[in-house]
Amino acid sequence: MKKAISLSKAKKILVCNIMNKRGETDGFGVEDFTAQFEKYIGAELDYVLYNKNIPDENTIEISKKEDDSLLSPVILEKDLDKNKFIGVNLLKKGEVNNDPKKTGEAIWKLIIK
């Protein structure tokens, strides 16, 4: 799989997590997710979509009660390369999850770019 991905001419797009998870991605930022993903696929990503809107505190707290593995929103580093890292509002209203429609639309824009 790793070889097939690295040889593929298809655009490689990562949709970054919105929240960090205990024991998996503690303290991760967008760049950390990207580096780990690129390491495992053996190729550089063309684009990384990340949620630029931080969920409100109330939504975060409710979500953490429902899923105790959730820690905090992913860190949004400053000075990300805007050609590769694409910040958009991916949030599903009232949740700490990606909205499928918003995510699909953002991916589509990158595919046809």
Chain segment 36-55, per-residue pLDDT in tens: 999 999 999 999 999 999 89
pLDDT, averaged across the chain: 94
At residue 25, the pLDDT reads 94
Read off the pTM. Answer: 0.90
Distance CA 7, CA 76 (A): 30
Mean pLDDT of 53-65: 93
Mean pLDDT of 14-18: 96
At residue 113, the pLDDT reads 79
List pLDDT tens digits, range 18-34.
999 999 999 999 999 99
Kindly indicate the confidence band of residue 17, based on its pLDDT and cuts at 50, 70 and 90: very high
Determine the structural domain holding residue 70 and report its residue range: 2-111
| Residue 58 reports pLDDT greater than 90 | yes
Mean pLDDT of 48-71: 94
Distance CA 110, CA 30 (A): 18
Please tell me the total count of domains within the chain. 1
Distance CA 104, CA 100 (A): 6
Q: Which residues contact 12 (CB under 8 A, 6 or more apart)?
A: 5, 41, 43, 44, 45, 46, 47
Residues facing 76 on adjacent strands: none
Q: Please say whether the beta carbons of 59 and 96 come within 8 A.
A: yes
